[in-house]
Amino acid sequence: MVKASIAIIVAALVWLGLVAAPAAAQQSGCRRGDTGKIAGTVIGAGLGAILGRKIDGGRNRGLGTVLGGAAGALVGNRIGASLDRCEQEKVNDATLAAVNDPQPGKEQTWRSDTRPGVGGKISAGAPEKLADGRECRPVRRVSYVNGEEIRENPTLCRVPPQTNWSMG
């Protein structure tokens, strides 16, 4: 029961971060601030906890969840701190374009409207059908911020006939 509650809380935080980020970008006029850093930390922690739990595979899921959450929080914090809300929205839009493109490996690019030297490229691998009915695609995201390269490799999934993708 406790493990299910933790999973529900993590999923709710991830959903909140994914939904709130684009709305905040529209309202803010894309001013930089700590909200990107906070959202990145929360989303990273949630995704890391889920991934850590899956990787740990039943031996000691609590430890995998905690370690994955901590690692995800560090990565998410770094990414959130380096991209403003409008740039994060561009990353999200390019990611959705990549997973909705039927051609695996086709790159989608994005560029910051306000900062030179900030942009990136995103591609999605071939879709895979899982035993539980989900269709998942591995994603490769590379962002460049003032010469620094930031890499992410999330997996996005959906349950057909749904068209919405979410972190897997």
Q: Render pLDDT for 27-84 as a digit per residue (tens, 0 to 9).
A: 445 544 444 556 666 677 776 666 666 665 656 656 666 666 666 666 665 555 578 9
For residue 16, the Cα-to-chain-centroid distance in whole angstroms is 12
Average pLDDT, rounded, for the chain? 75
The pLDDT value given to residue 39: 60
In the Cβ-directed half-sphere of 112, how many Cα atoms lie within 13 Å?
A: 19
The pTM of the whole model exceeds 0.75: no
pLDDT exceeds cutoff 90 at 17: no
Residue type, 132: D
Query: How many Å apart are CA 145 and CA 62, to the nearest integer?
Result: 35
Q: Is the pLDDT of residue 99 over 50?
A: yes
Each residue's pLDDT tens digit, 126-142? 999 999 999 999 999 99
